[in-house]
Amino acid sequence: MDFADHSVPTRSVADSQSEMTELILPNDANTLGNLLGGRLMHFIDLVGAMAAYRHSRTHVVTASMDHIDFIAPVHVGDLVILKSSMNRAFTTSMEVGVKAWVENTIAGTHRHVASAYLTFVAIEPSGRRISIPRLQAETSEEIRHYEDAGRRREHRQAELERKRASHPPEKELPGLVRPGKS
């Protein structure tokens, strides 16, 4: 395995927990005035990366984002509040949980709108993967998230292996016609 093994201390969940709030503007919305799903995914990726940066203190790339349900619409003028928390650190990868709520600023109400699990991989500027600090799960909730993340990783790895076996990497996009080639 080719990655840099820098010995680094264990960090707590609280060390990297992150939060961001976004005011939804017309530019973020679809033709019905609701927040675009892709824009919400962008916010989820950003707040997830914040926790991953804080835990690993190096560059990270998003390796995967698990299944997302868009539970309720978010409207122009709403505030979206997103919180991210490290669930588990593996060797060079880490799972971060993100939860998003919408705040109706006029009614003063909050509603859960989406949750997701993201895996980030730590890399050096050269692109080489780098080992990350261990995560110390302390509370009963943190321990539950830690154990659940282990089960999801097993499921993800099995799925990845299944896909790799059934879809070997393509050398060329199927049906792609290059200019000058017949």
Ligand X SMILES: CC(C)(COP(=O)(O)OP(=O)(O)OC[C@H]1O[C@@H](n2cnc3c(N)ncnc32)[C@H](O)[C@@H]1OP(=O)(O)O)[C@@H](O)C(=O)NCCC(=O)NCCS
- Nearest-approach distance from CB 44 to ligand X, in angstroms: 13
Within 163-182, which residues bind ligand X (CB under 6 A)?
A: none
Q: Does 64 bind ligand X (CB under 6 A)?
A: yes
Among 93, 96, 101, 102, binds ligand X (CB under 6 A): 93
- Which residue do the tokens 């609701």 mark? 34
Within 121-150, which residues bind ligand X (CB under 6 A)?
A: 121, 129
Q: Which residues contact 111 (CB under 8 A, 6 or more apart)?
A: 72, 101, 102, 104
Q: Does 156 bind ligand X (CB under 6 A)?
A: yes
- Nearest-approach distance from CB 7 to ligand X, in angstroms: 16
Tokens of 174: 């199927």
Among 8, 46, 90, 134, binds ligand X (CB under 6 A): 90
Q: Which is nearer to ligand X, 72 or 160 (CB)?
A: 160
Cα–Cα separations (whole angstroms), residue 117 to 79, 97, 103, 105, 163: 22, 5, 22, 27, 20
Q: Does 160 bind ligand X (CB under 6 A)?
A: yes
How would you class 168 by CB atoms within 10 Å of its CB: exposed for 0-12, middle for 13-18, buried for 19 or more?
exposed
Q: Which is nearer to ligand X, 49 or 80 (CB)?
A: 49
Under a CB-based contact definition with an 8 Å cutoff, are residues 131 and 91 in contact? Answer: yes
